[in-house]
Every structure is written in structure tokens, then in C-alpha cells.
Chain A
Amino acid sequence: MDGVHDMGGMDGFGKVEAEPNEPAFHAPWEGRVLAMQRAMGYAGAWPIDASRFAQERLPPQVYLTVSYYQRWTLAMERNVIERGYADADELSAGRALRRGKLIARKLSPDVVKQGMTRGSFYRQAQAAARFKPGDRVRTKNIHPMTHTRLPRYARGRLGAVERVHGCHAFPDAVAIDKGDNPQWLYTVVFEGKELWGPEADPTVKISIDAFEPYLDPA
């Protein structure tokens, strides 16, 4: 969806300000949110793409004003409720009022290490890769109302395939519970001027990782 989360190339947000000696968390609740997200992921409650999509669906004025882990909290509440893991009245009450759903597995202290290792996103290829390194491609001009990983600044643009990363679960499908729909994944490189016009810095190139359905031959 064309939301404010898709920030590449926007102006007006100001300088990047680094915080010296930044702690891992700025408040204990941030760590709890992150760890709950990990635990619910391990439980198979929802995929990471659904977490991202829930954040993208926050009203833009909320997305831009709350902190990073507040966004995670709001997105988690949404997934918990929408997917039937708890009801809104339970989150309001701060206690369970009904029995829980069955989950695939539970992150217990003895398996935390496994729970912290990222899963693989490789999937069995359904067809041969359509592109190879060096191929010229044009990204599609798409504007789905749902989750996509093709950023706005790189739509309808001419680029070159640089790397082939194998066949991966397709976030656009996974986020809306349409299965893995495996797709080939490529690093596609663009000249700065192709994205930002003739005045762009000629020494800059930008790449995205693009799933095959985002690309046409050019």
C-alpha cells in the first residue's frame, strides 16, 4: 500500500541524529515488546510480513508520531485480535477472559537460542528463474492496497539484475495469508538519475531486492 512507511526519497524529515552510547532499549517495556514478538513468531502466530503490514495500516499521523516500539505494540495488538489470539475486551481488562487457541509450539527458556535464529525464507522453486545477472529489467508500476516490498521510488524504473538470491517466500502473498507463493529474488541496481532525475549525483547507484513478479524484461 502507498503508505507513509514507504519513505525512500521523501524530503523534510531533517538530519540524521545519532545518539551516543545508545542502550539496547530505552525503557524496559521496549524489550518486553520485542521479546513477545519473537515468542509469538516462534509460536507460528503470524509471519513477520503480517507484523509489517499491521504497522503500515496504522493511520499515517500515528505512524509518524509514535516511537518505534510503540508501533510494534499497536501492530501486535492488531494481529492478536484479528487472528483470534485474544479479544479486545481481554486486552482492555489486562487478563484472559477465555481459553487460548492452540499454538504450534511455545518458546520456553530451553529453546530461546533456536527462537532467536532467523528462519530460512528459501522455498522450492516453482519454475526456472526468468532473469540472470546482467539482464535489463523494468520494475512494474503497481500500487496494491495490500503489503508489497517494491518501494514507490523504484516503480516503473529501468535497472539491471546484479544478483540472484534464490527462490523465496513472497511477502506480498504471505502478509495477506495467501501462502508462500515462492518467487525468485534478485538484486536490481538503478542509476541515481533513473530514480531522481538528471540532476542526481552521477556517482550514486541504488539497489533493491526485487521479487520476480515486480519485474518485466527491458
Chain B
Amino acid sequence: MAQHDDHHEHGSELSETQLRVRALETVLTEKGYIDPAALDLIIEAYETKVGPHIGARIVAKAWHDPAFKRTLLDDGSKAVSALGHENRVGDHLVVVENTPALHNMVVCTLCSCYPWEVLGLPPVWYKSAPYRSRAVKDPRGVLADFGIKLPANTEIRVWDSTAETRFLVLPMRPAGTEGWSEERLTQLVTRDAMIGTGLAKRPEAVA
């Protein structure tokens, strides 16, 4: 779906939006509500600091450290906050584990709820009508759009993020990674694997 195509195809709409956004920022700044220098820092953080690499470190640690995995699945917010990263997560992070018998997938059918603190901003497809409409009704079809085919008897669980709870999928650790360091394991963890529309990479893909 072409949410982002608008920017390329309708130049006049884009410039109207640009003008409206500029007007908002000027008015809100002159009124004393916002500080453009703070906006710059927020944008910089989402462009350079907050992203799926944070979630990947959490997943790799859970693969590597069974005690951490237990606390992570028991209370995601508490386990991640205890890591003492500069990225503090809110109170409502829930981590759900994929197994050979169960595959988890996360969606927000009503808007775009997503675990920003550990995955960064959601991709356009996550916020798009095709994903929001189909994930709860035809998850295997959605997985096929991502080139993923699960065994027919694997149970699929779709988590619709309808409240302030945020879900992170703990993907299965790929076979053939025994003895890998936590650092090396992070390379296998993709954003989509942590949403549930993908799987962790195979070891040979990063060798």
C-alpha cells in the first residue's frame, strides 16, 4: 500500500502538508509550548539511537542466558530495565516466546501500537491497512507475503495490541549456533523476527 508513495506522486499535497506542519511548529513555539531544539534531539534519537538493535540485544541475551530468559518472559519491563541500558522501557513490555509448536505475531488493528523503546519506529507496512486488516484473520497469508511458510500444525497466536501493553516476540534460536557469543547472536535477530513476521536468520546467512 502506497502510504509513502504520496510523498513522491503528489508534490502539491506534500508541500501543503509541509506548510501546515511548519505553521503548527511556529505557532506552538511562539505560544511557548515547544522548543524546536528539543524536537531536533527527538528526531535525532529516532534516526540514530533507538532501533531494532536494542531488541536484538535483548533477544540474544535471552538465548544466551537461561536465567535472564526466565525473568524476561515473566516480566519484560522489569527484566529489560534491570539491564541498566540508557533505553528505559515503560511499564508494559510483554515478551512472548516462539517454540516449534507456537508462533507469535504482533499487530495493532486499531492504530499503530508498537514497542518503540526496543524496536524503534514501526515500519510503514506495520501501520498499513493490509497488515492491520489481515493479520488477525489470515496470519498465514500475511506470513506468505513475507516469504515465511510455517509447518501446517504450528499454532499461530496473533496478539492485537489494543491497550498500552507492548509485545516483543522472542524468536527461536537457530540451530547450529551452539557456543556462539551473545554479541555474535545479535546478528541473527531481525526486526521482523521480533514482530513475528519473520524468523531469525540462519547462521550461514551471517557467517
Which A residues are within 8 Å of any B CB, using their own CB? Answer: 5-11, 13-19, 22-27, 29, 31-36, 38-40, 43, 45, 52, 55, 64, 66-68, 70, 73, 76-77, 80, 85-86, 90-96, 99-101, 103, 106-109, 111-113, 115-122, 149-151, 153-154, 163, 165, 168, 171, 185, 187, 189, 195-196, 201, 203-211
Contacts and interface: CB of A to CB of B under 8 A. Distances in A.
A204 B107 CA distance: 14
A107 B125 contact: no
A120 B164 CA distance: 9
B7 A116 contact: no
Contact of B42 (A9, A38, A76, A99): A38
Nearest to B166: A118
Nearest to A152: B109
B38 A67 contact: no
Nearest to B158: A206
A165 B33 contact: no
Contacts of B163: 121, 149, 165, 168, 171, 185, 209-211
Contacts of A26: 4, 7, 124
B68 interface: no
B20 to A, nearest CB: 6
B92 A67 contact: no
A44 B68 CA distance: 36
Contact of A106 (B32, B123, B165): B32
Contact of A118 (B26, B90, B125, B157): B90
B114 to A, nearest CB: 12
B140 interface: yes
Contact of B33 (A85, A121, A206, A208): A85
In this complex, the interface size class of chain B, counting residues with CB under 8 Å from chain A, is 35 or more
A207 B158 contact: yes
Contact of A39 (B35, B92, B131, B153): B35
Contacts of B94: 163, 165
Interface string B142-161: 10011000001111111111
Interface string B74-91: 000000000000101111
Contacts of A76: 24
Nearest to B15: A29
Interface in B151-183: 152-165
A192 to B, nearest CB: 8
Contact of B121 (A24, A70, A153): A24
Nearest to B142: A16
Contact of A151 (B1, B14, B160): B160
B204 to A, nearest CB: 21
21 contacts: A8-B109, A8-B135, A16-B197, A24-B121, A31-B42, A34-B121, A35-B43, A39-B42, A43-B33, A55-B111, A70-B6, A94-B26, A120-B90, A122-B91, A149-B162, A149-B163, A151-B160, A153-B137, A201-B140, A201-B156, A211-B163
Contacts of B97: none
